């Protein structure tokens, strides 16, 4: 039998409906904040991610679905959205007109991680990028936007953690200082950190093995006055916007391009994989990719994890059946039922049926299971009187006879 690949899954109703509801909430919040949708390819050149996400990151080094295609090109399934958006910004000249680009995307990402609860090899991210605005107000707006999306989607218990990694100047000075420290302590490092220490010493801070003790013992970054001011101002703006957050000076993100502000949203309900969203400022990425100077900030939220948070809180929208489930016996009645169903749907009343060729008993069983408010029954008697029998399925007593012509207006009235 064919089975899905490990870490890949089918998302069925009602989960698929919860996913859509979160997407709808996000789209509404994005619209209010002037963000517009960008749709980017799922497959890009491998080089795009190697050069932007970073060749020493876990995502690129260990987790990327990269392969050589039939034409001999080195390609990769996107593990994240920012590099593709940055490429599009440059390639499509989105900087024209001097306006900031405020873009969002929703789509699948691929990472060959070890699957566990909340961690999949194909998952969906909702992400935003505000490109071209160096001001702390862009950082604060981006974070506040993320909190609003989670609130609107109904995900409770999320906390925002904030840090700054310094600008490229602060980072350059710190890189040398950290490299010196790591070289003196090579013995204590894990094999992966030892291997990449010269190429990218900063990665050790994000390593699952060495990160925790280095956060205690390694020297900390000193920030230049500009970075201190940027961080202070971002916090002041977040407070002004009523966003709760806590500063976590040891937070580093698993991607190379971040400068200055970085943030994560965590939810206790998720257990080990507790990050619902993460992001930060990337002031140099677009320039380093051959584009214009375009200081930017953005984030990505894991849709699968947001859904888990909402479900854990019992806050998923109630499952709703149709208003009317049609049950008909005989060819003529089936025809009438089909016509009435179509009339109801045309005026926005959800209607469903199973199969008019089956017995009434079997159709009634389906009606009971459907979660519908009413069964609309049409047999020989109903045909003769041109009135259907309306049977409540949600506990109310009684059955009433409703003329075919009056069915839509009768069902438009919500049941008590
Ligand atoms: P990142 O940019 O790697 O921090 O990813 C942003 C968000 O995407 C995370 O906070 C998670 O919510 C989600 N995410 C990342 N990797 C996975 C995965 N393998 N499975 C499910 N969600 C993920």
Span from the CA of 362 to the centroid of ligand 1 (angstroms): 45
Q: Are residues 154 and 249 in the same domain?
A: yes
For position 416, what pLDDT does the model report? 47
Alpha-carbon distance of 252 to 178, in angstroms, equals 14
Span from the CA of 276 to the centroid of ligand 1 (angstroms): 7
CB 255 within 8 A of CB 53: yes
* 331 domain-assigned: yes
For position 397, what pLDDT does the model report? 80
For position 190, what pLDDT does the model report? 93
* 205 domain-assigned: yes
Q: Are residues 334 and 398 in the same domain?
A: yes
Q: Are residues 104 and 240 in the same domain?
A: yes
- Number of domains comprising the chain: 3
Q: Are residues 82 and 21 in the same domain?
A: yes
Span from the CA of 259 to the centroid of ligand 1 (angstroms): 20
Q: Domain containing 362: what range?
A: 324-411
Q: Is 60 exceeded by the pLDDT of residue 415?
A: no
Which residue's CA is the nearest one to ligand 1's atom 8?
A: 302
Span from the CA of 304 to the centroid of ligand 1 (angstroms): 9
Q: Are residues 22 and 107 in the same domain?
A: yes
Return the ligand 1 atom nearest residue 113 CA: 19
Please report, for residues 38, 258, 286, 297, 376, the alpha-carbon distance to residue 290 in angstroms, rounded to integers and kept in the order given: 21, 17, 7, 18, 65
Look at residues 177, 192, 223 and tell me which one is the last residue of a structural domain: 223
Which residue's CA is the nearest one to ligand 1's atom 20?
A: 119
Look at residues 312, 340, 372 and tell me which one is the last residue of a structural domain: 312
Q: Are residues 72 and 118 in the same domain?
A: yes
CB neighbours (10 Å) of residue 222? 12
Most confident of the ranges 52-61, 173-182, 251-260, 327-336: 327-336
Alpha-carbon distance of 134 to 215, in angstroms, equals 28
Q: Is 70 exceeded by the pLDDT of residue 69?
A: yes
Ligand 1 pocket mutation pick from 6, 278, 298 by most atoms within 8 angstroms of CB: 278
For position 389, what pLDDT does the model report? 97
The CATH number for 370's domain is: 3.40.50.800
For position 414, what pLDDT does the model report? 61
Span from the CA of 344 to the centroid of ligand 1 (angstroms): 42
For position 239, what pLDDT does the model report? 97
Q: Is 50 exceeded by the pLDDT of residue 44?
A: yes
Q: What is the average pLDDT value for the chain, to the nearest integer?
A: 94
Nearest to 52 by CA among 280, 299, 257, 252: 257
Look at residues 181, 201, 223 and tell me which one is the last residue of a structural domain: 223
Q: Are residues 156 and 243 in the same domain?
A: yes
Q: Is 80 exceeded by the pLDDT of residue 8?
A: yes
Which residue's CA is the nearest one to ligand 1's atom 23?
A: 302
For the segment 104-118, the average pLDDT, to the nearest whole number, is 96
Q: Are residues 193 and 282 in the same domain?
A: no
* 1 domain-assigned: no
Q: Are residues 163 and 250 in the same domain?
A: yes
Q: Is 50 exceeded by the pLDDT of residue 317?
A: yes
pLDDT in tens, 295-315: 999 999 999 999 999 999 998
The string of DSSP letters for 148-204 reads HHHHHHT--SEEEEEEE---HHHHHHHHHHHHHHHHHTGGGS-HHHHHHTTT-TTHH
Dihedral of alpha carbons 55, 58, 60, 62, sign: positive
| Joined tokens for residue 291 | 């584009």
Q: Are residues 124 and 273 in the same domain?
A: yes
Question: Where does ligand 1 bind, in terms of residues with CB under 6 Å?
Answer: 80, 111, 113, 119-120, 123, 125, 254, 275-278, 300, 302, 304-305
pLDDT in tens, 198-247: 888 888 988 889 988 998 899 988 999 999 999 999 999 999 999 999 99
Q: Are residues 195 and 253 in the same domain?
A: no
Nearest to 21 by CA among 127, 191, 154, 123: 154
Span from the CA of 192 to the centroid of ligand 1 (angstroms): 22
* 319 domain-assigned: no
Q: Are residues 333 and 407 in the same domain?
A: yes
The CATH number for 297's domain is: 3.30.930.10
Query: pLDDT band at residue 253, thresholds of 50, 70 and 90?
Result: confident
For the segment 72-101, the average pLDDT, to the nearest whole number, is 93
Alpha-carbon distance of 12 to 366, in angstroms, equals 19
Query: pLDDT band at residue 170, thresholds of 50, 70 and 90?
Result: very high
Length of the chain: 416
Q: pTM for the full model?
A: 0.92
């Amino acid at each position: 039998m064919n089975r899905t690949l490990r870490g890949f899954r089918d998302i069925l109703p009602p989960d698929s409906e919860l996913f859509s509801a979160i997407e709808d909430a996000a789209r509404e919040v994005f619209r209010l904040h002037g963000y517009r949708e960008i749709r980017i390819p799922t497959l890009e050149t491998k080089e795009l991610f190697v050069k932007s996400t970073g060749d020493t990151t876990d995502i690129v080094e260990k987790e990327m679905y990269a392969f050589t295609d039939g034409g001999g090109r080195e390609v990769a399934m996107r593990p994240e959205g920012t590099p593709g958006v940055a490429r599009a910004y440059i390639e499509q000249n989105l900087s024209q007109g001097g306006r900031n680009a405020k873009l969002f995307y929703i789509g699948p990402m691929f990472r060959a991680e070890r699957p566990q609860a909340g961690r999949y090899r194909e998952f969906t991210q909702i992400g935003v990028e505000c490109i071209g605005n160096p001001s702390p107000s862009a950082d604060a707006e981006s974070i506040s936007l993320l909190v609003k999306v989670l609130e609107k989607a109904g995900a409770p218990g999320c906390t925002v953690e904030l840090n700054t990694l310094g600008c490229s100047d602060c980072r350059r000075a710190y890189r040398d200082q950290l490299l010196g420290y790591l070289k003196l302590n090579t013995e204590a490092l894990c094999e992966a950190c030892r291997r990449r220490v010269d190429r990218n010493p900063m990665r050790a801070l994000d390593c699952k093995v060495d990160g925790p003790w280095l956060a205690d013992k390694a020297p900390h970054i000193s920030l230049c006055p500009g970075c201190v001011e940027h961080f202070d101002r971002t916090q002041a703006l977040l407070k002004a916007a009523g966003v709760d957050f806590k500063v976590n000076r040891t937070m580093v993100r698993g991607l190379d391009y971040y400068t200055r502000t970085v943030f994560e949203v965590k939810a206790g309900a998720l257990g080990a994989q507790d990050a619902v969203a993460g992001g930060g400022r990337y002031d140099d990425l677009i320039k380093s990719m051959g584009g214009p100077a375009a200081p930017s900030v953005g984030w990505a939220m894991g849709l699968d994890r947001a859904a888990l948070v909402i479900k854990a809180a019992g806050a998923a929208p109630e499952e709703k059946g149709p208003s009317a489930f049609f049950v008909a016996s005989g060819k003529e009645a089936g025809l009438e039922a089909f016509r009435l169903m179509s009339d109801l749907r045309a005026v926005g009343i959800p209607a469903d049926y199973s199969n008019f060729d089956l017995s009434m008993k079997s159709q009634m069983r389906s009606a009971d299971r459907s979660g519908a408010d009413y069964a609309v029954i049409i047999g020989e008697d109903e045909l003769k009187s041109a009135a259907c029998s309306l049977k409540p399925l949600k506990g109310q007593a009684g059955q009433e006879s409703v003329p075919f012509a009056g069915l839509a207006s009768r069902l438009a009235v919500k049941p008590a």
